[in-house]
Structure 1
Amino acid sequence: MSEQGQRHFEIPKEMRSMADAGLEQARKTFEKFIEGAQVAAESLSARTATVGAGAKDASAMAFSYAEKNVQASLDYAQSLVHAKDLSEVMRLHREYVQAQMRSLAEQASEMGQIVSRTAMDAAKPKH
Protein backbone atom coordinates (compact mmCIF):
# COMPACT_ATOMS: atom_id res chain seq x y z
CA MET A 1 0.00 0.00 0.00
CA SER A 2 1.32 3.43 -0.88
CA GLU A 3 2.24 5.98 1.75
CA GLN A 4 -0.59 8.19 0.49
CA GLY A 5 -3.08 5.31 0.97
CA GLN A 6 -1.88 4.80 4.53
CA ARG A 7 -2.28 8.50 5.32
CA HIS A 8 -5.92 8.37 4.22
CA PHE A 9 -6.66 5.64 6.77
CA GLU A 10 -7.93 7.77 9.60
CA ILE A 11 -10.81 7.33 12.01
CA PRO A 12 -12.57 10.63 12.71
CA LYS A 13 -12.18 11.95 16.25
CA GLU A 14 -15.95 11.71 16.90
CA MET A 15 -15.99 8.04 15.88
CA ARG A 16 -13.01 7.31 18.13
CA SER A 17 -14.81 8.95 21.03
CA MET A 18 -17.98 6.95 20.36
CA ALA A 19 -15.97 3.73 20.06
CA ASP A 20 -14.11 4.47 23.30
CA ALA A 21 -17.39 5.11 25.09
CA GLY A 22 -18.87 1.90 23.67
CA LEU A 23 -15.83 -0.12 24.69
CA GLU A 24 -15.87 1.33 28.19
CA GLN A 25 -19.55 0.43 28.51
CA ALA A 26 -18.78 -3.08 27.24
CA ARG A 27 -16.03 -3.43 29.87
CA LYS A 28 -18.35 -2.34 32.67
CA THR A 29 -21.13 -4.65 31.47
CA PHE A 30 -18.73 -7.58 31.22
CA GLU A 31 -17.34 -6.92 34.70
CA LYS A 32 -20.87 -6.91 36.14
CA PHE A 33 -21.67 -10.12 34.26
CA ILE A 34 -18.53 -11.86 35.59
CA GLU A 35 -19.26 -10.70 39.15
CA GLY A 36 -22.81 -12.03 38.93
CA ALA A 37 -21.68 -15.32 37.41
CA GLN A 38 -19.04 -15.80 40.10
CA VAL A 39 -21.57 -15.11 42.86
CA ALA A 40 -23.97 -17.60 41.28
CA ALA A 41 -21.24 -20.23 40.94
CA GLU A 42 -20.10 -19.75 44.53
CA SER A 43 -23.66 -20.00 45.76
CA LEU A 44 -24.22 -23.19 43.79
CA SER A 45 -20.96 -24.69 45.06
CA ALA A 46 -21.83 -23.83 48.64
CA ARG A 47 -25.22 -25.55 48.32
CA THR A 48 -23.96 -28.62 46.50
CA ALA A 49 -21.96 -30.89 48.77
CA THR A 50 -21.08 -33.21 45.89
CA VAL A 51 -19.04 -30.62 44.04
CA GLY A 52 -15.46 -31.78 44.41
CA ALA A 53 -12.46 -29.57 44.83
CA GLY A 54 -11.36 -30.34 41.27
CA ALA A 55 -14.66 -29.28 39.76
CA LYS A 56 -14.63 -26.13 41.85
CA ASP A 57 -11.04 -25.39 40.72
CA ALA A 58 -11.98 -26.00 37.09
CA SER A 59 -14.98 -23.70 37.38
CA ALA A 60 -12.94 -20.93 38.98
CA MET A 61 -10.24 -21.36 36.35
CA ALA A 62 -12.80 -21.20 33.52
CA PHE A 63 -14.20 -17.92 34.90
CA SER A 64 -10.69 -16.53 35.18
CA TYR A 65 -9.88 -17.54 31.59
CA ALA A 66 -13.10 -16.06 30.27
CA GLU A 67 -12.41 -12.80 32.04
CA LYS A 68 -8.81 -12.60 30.76
CA ASN A 69 -9.83 -13.44 27.19
CA VAL A 70 -12.63 -10.88 27.05
CA GLN A 71 -10.41 -8.23 28.63
CA ALA A 72 -7.72 -8.97 26.02
CA SER A 73 -10.33 -8.64 23.26
CA LEU A 74 -11.59 -5.34 24.65
CA ASP A 75 -8.02 -4.03 24.97
CA TYR A 76 -7.35 -5.09 21.38
CA ALA A 77 -10.50 -3.38 20.12
CA GLN A 78 -9.56 -0.21 21.96
CA SER A 79 -6.06 -0.25 20.50
CA LEU A 80 -7.55 -0.62 17.00
CA VAL A 81 -9.69 2.46 17.57
CA HIS A 82 -6.52 4.46 18.20
CA ALA A 83 -4.47 2.99 15.34
CA LYS A 84 -2.93 5.69 13.20
CA ASP A 85 -2.58 3.74 9.96
CA LEU A 86 -3.11 0.37 8.33
CA SER A 87 0.38 -0.88 9.19
CA GLU A 88 -0.34 -0.24 12.87
CA VAL A 89 -3.65 -2.11 12.55
CA MET A 90 -1.81 -5.07 11.02
CA ARG A 91 0.87 -4.99 13.74
CA LEU A 92 -1.75 -4.83 16.49
CA HIS A 93 -3.66 -7.71 14.93
CA ARG A 94 -0.52 -9.85 14.64
CA GLU A 95 0.44 -9.15 18.26
CA TYR A 96 -3.09 -9.88 19.50
CA VAL A 97 -3.35 -13.18 17.64
CA GLN A 98 0.09 -14.30 18.83
CA ALA A 99 -0.68 -13.37 22.44
CA GLN A 100 -4.06 -15.11 22.32
CA MET A 101 -2.55 -18.28 20.86
CA ARG A 102 0.03 -18.38 23.67
CA SER A 103 -2.65 -17.66 26.25
CA LEU A 104 -5.02 -20.33 24.92
CA ALA A 105 -2.21 -22.92 24.89
CA GLU A 106 -1.37 -22.10 28.52
CA GLN A 107 -5.03 -22.20 29.50
CA ALA A 108 -5.57 -25.57 27.81
CA SER A 109 -2.51 -26.98 29.57
CA GLU A 110 -3.59 -25.71 32.98
CA MET A 111 -7.15 -26.95 32.51
CA GLY A 112 -5.81 -30.34 31.40
CA GLN A 113 -3.74 -30.56 34.57
CA ILE A 114 -6.78 -29.82 36.73
CA VAL A 115 -8.90 -32.40 34.90
CA SER A 116 -6.15 -35.02 35.18
CA ARG A 117 -5.63 -34.31 38.87
CA THR A 118 -9.38 -34.49 39.48
CA ALA A 119 -9.67 -37.78 37.60
CA MET A 120 -6.75 -39.26 39.56
CA ASP A 121 -8.29 -38.12 42.84
CA ALA A 122 -11.64 -39.63 41.87
CA ALA A 123 -9.97 -42.93 41.00
CA LYS A 124 -8.25 -43.22 44.39
CA PRO A 125 -9.85 -45.82 46.65
CA LYS A 126 -11.88 -44.36 49.49
CA HIS A 127 -10.93 -45.62 52.94
Structure 2
Amino acid sequence: MTEDGRRFEIPKDMRAMAEAGFDQARQTFEKFLAGAEATAGSLEERGATVRAGAKDIGAKVLSYAEKNVQSSLDYAQSLVHAKDLPEVLKLQSAFIQGQMRSLAEQASEMGQVISRAAFDATKPKV
Protein backbone atom coordinates (compact mmCIF):
# COMPACT_ATOMS: atom_id res chain seq x y z
CA MET A 1 0.00 0.00 0.00
CA THR A 2 1.12 3.55 -0.55
CA GLU A 3 1.39 6.14 2.17
CA ASP A 4 -2.08 7.48 1.43
CA GLY A 5 -3.64 4.01 1.86
CA ARG A 6 -4.06 3.10 -1.82
CA ARG A 7 -2.83 -0.25 -3.16
CA PHE A 8 0.09 -0.19 -5.52
CA GLU A 9 -0.78 -1.90 -8.80
CA ILE A 10 1.35 -2.53 -11.84
CA PRO A 11 -0.21 -0.88 -14.94
CA LYS A 12 -1.57 -3.23 -17.63
CA ASP A 13 0.69 -1.75 -20.32
CA MET A 14 3.72 -2.41 -18.15
CA ARG A 15 2.61 -6.00 -17.55
CA ALA A 16 2.10 -6.54 -21.28
CA MET A 17 5.53 -5.14 -22.06
CA ALA A 18 7.12 -7.36 -19.41
CA GLU A 19 5.27 -10.42 -20.75
CA ALA A 20 6.60 -9.70 -24.26
CA GLY A 21 10.10 -9.33 -22.84
CA PHE A 22 9.84 -12.67 -21.02
CA ASP A 23 8.60 -14.39 -24.17
CA GLN A 24 11.57 -13.02 -26.08
CA ALA A 25 13.94 -14.08 -23.29
CA ARG A 26 12.52 -17.61 -23.36
CA GLN A 27 12.98 -17.83 -27.15
CA THR A 28 16.55 -16.56 -26.87
CA PHE A 29 17.29 -19.08 -24.14
CA GLU A 30 15.91 -21.93 -26.24
CA LYS A 31 18.23 -20.92 -29.11
CA PHE A 32 21.18 -20.74 -26.67
CA LEU A 33 20.31 -24.18 -25.31
CA ALA A 34 20.19 -25.67 -28.82
CA GLY A 35 23.64 -24.21 -29.55
CA ALA A 36 25.01 -25.47 -26.24
CA GLU A 37 23.69 -28.95 -26.95
CA ALA A 38 25.34 -28.89 -30.37
CA THR A 39 28.63 -27.86 -28.75
CA ALA A 40 28.34 -30.59 -26.14
CA GLY A 41 27.72 -33.03 -28.98
CA SER A 42 31.03 -32.04 -30.58
CA LEU A 43 32.82 -33.18 -27.41
CA GLU A 44 31.81 -36.70 -28.34
CA GLU A 45 34.57 -36.78 -30.95
CA ARG A 46 37.22 -37.33 -28.21
CA GLY A 47 38.38 -40.55 -26.57
CA ALA A 48 35.85 -43.00 -25.18
CA THR A 49 36.56 -42.48 -21.47
CA VAL A 50 37.03 -38.74 -21.70
CA ARG A 51 34.01 -38.54 -23.96
CA ALA A 52 31.80 -40.31 -21.46
CA GLY A 53 32.96 -38.05 -18.61
CA ALA A 54 32.64 -34.89 -20.69
CA LYS A 55 29.21 -35.96 -21.86
CA ASP A 56 28.04 -36.51 -18.27
CA ILE A 57 29.47 -33.17 -17.15
CA GLY A 58 28.05 -31.37 -20.18
CA ALA A 59 24.64 -32.91 -19.65
CA LYS A 60 24.63 -31.84 -15.99
CA VAL A 61 25.75 -28.31 -16.84
CA LEU A 62 23.06 -27.97 -19.48
CA SER A 63 20.47 -29.41 -17.13
CA TYR A 64 21.43 -26.96 -14.39
CA ALA A 65 21.55 -24.01 -16.77
CA GLU A 66 18.13 -24.84 -18.14
CA LYS A 67 16.65 -25.34 -14.67
CA ASN A 68 18.20 -22.13 -13.30
CA VAL A 69 17.21 -19.94 -16.24
CA GLN A 70 13.71 -21.41 -16.30
CA SER A 71 13.39 -20.78 -12.56
CA SER A 72 14.56 -17.18 -12.98
CA LEU A 73 12.18 -16.56 -15.86
CA ASP A 74 9.29 -18.06 -13.91
CA TYR A 75 10.19 -15.89 -10.92
CA ALA A 76 10.37 -12.75 -13.03
CA GLN A 77 7.06 -13.56 -14.64
CA SER A 78 5.47 -14.11 -11.23
CA LEU A 79 6.69 -10.66 -10.20
CA VAL A 80 4.84 -9.15 -13.15
CA HIS A 81 1.62 -10.64 -11.80
CA ALA A 82 2.24 -9.58 -8.19
CA LYS A 83 -0.55 -7.43 -6.84
CA ASP A 84 1.39 -5.49 -4.22
CA LEU A 85 4.69 -5.08 -2.41
CA PRO A 86 4.05 -7.74 0.27
CA GLU A 87 3.40 -10.28 -2.48
CA VAL A 88 6.63 -9.23 -4.25
CA LEU A 89 8.57 -9.71 -1.01
CA LYS A 90 6.97 -13.12 -0.44
CA LEU A 91 7.84 -14.19 -3.99
CA GLN A 92 11.41 -12.96 -3.62
CA SER A 93 11.91 -14.79 -0.34
CA ALA A 94 10.58 -18.05 -1.78
CA PHE A 95 12.74 -17.65 -4.91
CA ILE A 96 15.93 -17.01 -2.95
CA GLN A 97 15.31 -19.97 -0.63
CA GLY A 98 14.64 -22.22 -3.60
CA GLN A 99 17.76 -21.04 -5.42
CA MET A 100 19.93 -21.65 -2.36
CA ARG A 101 18.61 -25.22 -2.04
CA SER A 102 19.07 -25.77 -5.75
CA LEU A 103 22.63 -24.41 -5.70
CA ALA A 104 23.60 -26.72 -2.84
CA GLU A 105 22.12 -29.75 -4.62
CA GLN A 106 23.76 -28.83 -7.92
CA ALA A 107 27.18 -28.28 -6.35
CA SER A 108 27.04 -31.66 -4.61
CA GLU A 109 25.90 -33.49 -7.74
CA MET A 110 28.47 -31.73 -9.93
CA GLY A 111 31.26 -32.64 -7.51
CA GLN A 112 30.24 -36.29 -7.74
CA VAL A 113 30.05 -36.23 -11.54
CA ILE A 114 33.44 -34.53 -11.90
CA SER A 115 35.09 -36.88 -9.39
CA ARG A 116 33.69 -39.91 -11.19
CA ALA A 117 34.82 -38.57 -14.59
CA ALA A 118 38.32 -37.80 -13.27
CA PHE A 119 38.60 -41.23 -11.66
CA ASP A 120 37.46 -42.96 -14.85
CA ALA A 121 39.84 -40.90 -17.02
CA THR A 122 42.86 -41.77 -14.86
CA LYS A 123 41.98 -45.42 -14.32
CA PRO A 124 44.62 -47.64 -15.97
CA LYS A 125 43.39 -49.55 -18.99
CA VAL A 126 43.45 -53.29 -18.67
Confirm or deny a common fold (TM above 0.5). yes
Task: Report deviation, 1:10.
Answer: 1.3
Matches within 5 A, 1:81-120: 81-120=80-119
Q: Any conservation in 2 of the 1:6–1:86 contact (CA below 8 Å)?
A: no
Q: Any conservation in 1 of the 2:33–2:62 contact (CA below 8 Å)?
A: yes
Percent of residue pairs bearing the same amino acid type: 65
Task: Report deviation, 1:48.
Answer: 2.6
Task: Report deviation, 1:3.
Answer: 7.9
Report SS of the residue matched to 1:52. helix
Gap change, CA 1:49 and 1:118, over 3 Å in 2: closer
Distance 1:19 1:11 in 2: 11
Q: Which runs of 5+ in 2 are unaligned?
A: none
Q: CA RMSD in A?
A: 1.9
Q: Any conservation in 1 of the 2:43–2:54 contact (CA below 8 Å)?
A: no
Q: Any conservation in 2 of the 1:6–1:85 contact (CA below 8 Å)?
A: no
Match of 1:48 in 2: 46
Match of 1:63 in 2: 62
Match of 1:123 in 2: 122
Gap change, CA 1:126 and 1:69, over 3 Å in 2: same
Cα displacement string for residues 40-71 of structure 1 (whole angstroms, at most 9, x for unaligned residues): 221x1233336331121001110110111011
Q: Aligned partner of 1:119: which letter?
A: A
Distance 1:40 1:52 in 2: 13
Match of 1:14 in 2: 13
Task: Report deviation, 1:83.
Answer: 0.4
Task: Report deviation, 1:2.
Answer: 6.7
Distance 1:46 1:107 in 2: 23
Count of matched residue pairs: 125
Match of 2:29 in 1: 30
